[in-house]
Amino acid sequence: MIEGRPYYLRLVSSPEELAREAGAEFVRLAADTLEGKQNFSVALAGGSTPQRMYRLLAEDERYRDSVAWDRAEFFWGDERHVPPDHPDSNYRMAFDTLLRHIRVSPAQVHRIEAENPDASMAAKAYEDLLVRHFRLSPGEWPQLDLALLGLGGDGHTASLFPGTDVLEDRQHLVAAPWVEKFHSFRLTLTANVFNRARHVIFLVSGKDKATALKAVLQGKDQPQLFPAQLIRPASGALWLCDRDAASLLVEPYFQGQ
């Protein structure tokens, strides 16, 4: 159970409805944010689950034409340690499903330069980018308007994997943990950055996530094993889950938001 901070669970019937619900939240949060600010900053999630949502935002005019894309600033929650044109690149995935289909300038797209063979240098470079973009003084943290996140079957989120040293990192904005299961470095925003986002939305779909989702939301507080438990933003994360992913959850649980 995620002690201390509320989370909100919104169940949907299918991956298609998950994409629609997530797309509607994106449109709503962008509009709300832009009533009071010039720009809307979003950290995109990687992996496969968000792709349907990104395609919907790009291809369905009910969503696409409801966002002031020229005022959006795109970041990534994490990246694989590969060049931007690599099939595993989260940047490439977002570019192919969303960014190439909407009117945004390169200046609005802040990818992680994961082509750098030195992963820790790539992390430092992204941290420097965030410091410049958000005009941070030493000790200050960036505040994203929205962070989109997924959940791995092992309870990871972004590239915060079980048993990795990044889970305790309270100092950096960006880290480059070695992930043994992939025998590779990853690049990731740290939990502190996600927790300072104004809004956090998890997108979770499929039976293969049911055990992890139950452990994260309704199991003991053990973030070393289930790092998604580290993500406890003050506003309360919204967990958008389809019925397959939520099939092991027991009531009562928070509904709504």
The 8-class DSSP code of residue 44 comes to: E
Q: Are 53 and 26 in contact (CB under 8 A)?
A: yes
Task: Kindly give the pairing relationship between strand 237-242 and strand 40-44.
Answer: unpaired
Kindly state whether residue 49 participates in binding ligand 6PG, applying the rule CB under 6 A. yes
In total, the chain counts a number of residues equal to 257
Pick the stretch among 14-22, 40-48, 54-62, 107-115 that binds ligand 6PG (CB under 6 A): 40-48
Q: Report residue 106: phi and psi, to 5°.
A: -55, -30
Q: Which of residues 228-257 bind ligand 6PG (CB under 6 A)?
A: none
Give whole-number Cα distances, 162 to 55, 125, 156, 192, in Å.
30, 25, 6, 16
84: left (phi over 0), alpha (psi -120 to 50) or beta: alpha
In the Cβ-directed half-sphere of 253, how many Cα atoms lie within 13 Å? 23
Q: Which is nearer to ligand 6PG, 172 or 251 (CB)?
A: 172
- Using Cβ positions, the residue closest to ligand 6PG within the complex turns out to be 150
Kindly state whether residue 182 participates in binding ligand 6PG, applying the rule CB under 6 A. no
Token pair 């958008």 is found at: 240
As measured in angstroms, the least distance from the Cβ of 154 to ligand 6PG is 8
The binder of ligand 6PG chosen from 15, 23, 142, 150 (CB under 6 A): 150
Q: Which is nearer to ligand 6PG, 29 or 149 (CB)?
A: 149
Kindly state whether residue 158 participates in binding ligand 6PG, applying the rule CB under 6 A. yes
Kindly state whether residue 47 participates in binding ligand 6PG, applying the rule CB under 6 A. yes
Q: Are 119 and 80 in contact (CB under 8 A)?
A: no
Pick the stretch among 42-50, 60-68, 111-119, 123-131 that binds ligand 6PG (CB under 6 A): 42-50
Q: Which of residues 106-135 bind ligand 6PG (CB under 6 A)?
A: none
The binder of ligand 6PG chosen from 90, 97, 164, 190 (CB under 6 A): 90
The binder of ligand 6PG chosen from 21, 25, 73, 78 (CB under 6 A): 78
Residue 200 bridge partners (DSSP): 147
- Please give the Cα distance from 14 to 55 (Å, whole number): 16
Residues that bind ligand 6PG (CB under 6 A): 45-49, 77-78, 90, 150-152, 156-159
